Structure 1
């Protein structure tokens, strides 16, 4: 006797409903708006999903939402961390960030949108590099002479910034 398995279909309804709650509070950053939009446009939607998505779009048109930077700062403060540096681009899905967790370990994260031209990616990397260099000067942090290892966490701000600078030097290798 065989058991008939129902094919599970991923529903984005729960994600859209979460997004609606965030959007009502003005706390749905552009990154998450785009993520929902990509998921929604990439699948056959149910009437419930369509109705929820239309409700979300209506809220987004009426309620000003916070920036990616505000979202990141809020999330880091909630876990006892700190944002040292971040840049989110509005015209494409790229971001660069340098954060410190509550244990004093530094983290770097970066994404350059692969749907942009190589020139735009290079321009984004150069802008982030320039801004990061200005911050490093303010912090009194010098670039390390030796290459910083590529790892998840860094013990010092100098290691983390040096790694991020090296990555931004080679924007073609950053996968977005």
Structure 2
């Protein structure tokens, strides 16, 4: 980002006048900030703070590893790439390796960063770091005590069908499928 787009210099910057904590949970916190708008008026912003997350596009024998689990906010089962939140002070690559093995039983011998993105910048500061690997070895599954999921390896055609059926509908997995398709078609991301 160039210097003229930094938040302190940009004319659309909103100055925080007050920040009021509302909720502190196990994973997220919620605050309401009072801000001065560019026109001098004030408004409020509800902000969810999140430690960040990782996700892994893992390819084994031309199939992508996915997990299926119940997602309470959506009230349905979802097929997603392996993912999880960052622990305090944890580097994203280490978290990606950890989550991959915990959820799928595969260890990445090598792994590369694909992209980092904001999930919902209108109200949350969560950043998801997406990694890619096709250099895997079998390890052991170690699910968290409150984690219930199944793991499978799907073809690109299956992934595209899951998108049409709505079984895949989250941003990180959509990004993964489209990146995988691009790599399959062109040989690179």
Question: Going by fraction, where is helix more abundant, 1 or 2?
Answer: 1
TM-score of the alignment, normalized to the shorter chain, above 0.5: no
**What is the TM-score normalised by the length of structure 2?**
0.28
RCO greater where, 1 or 2, for CA within 8 Å and sep 6 or more? 2
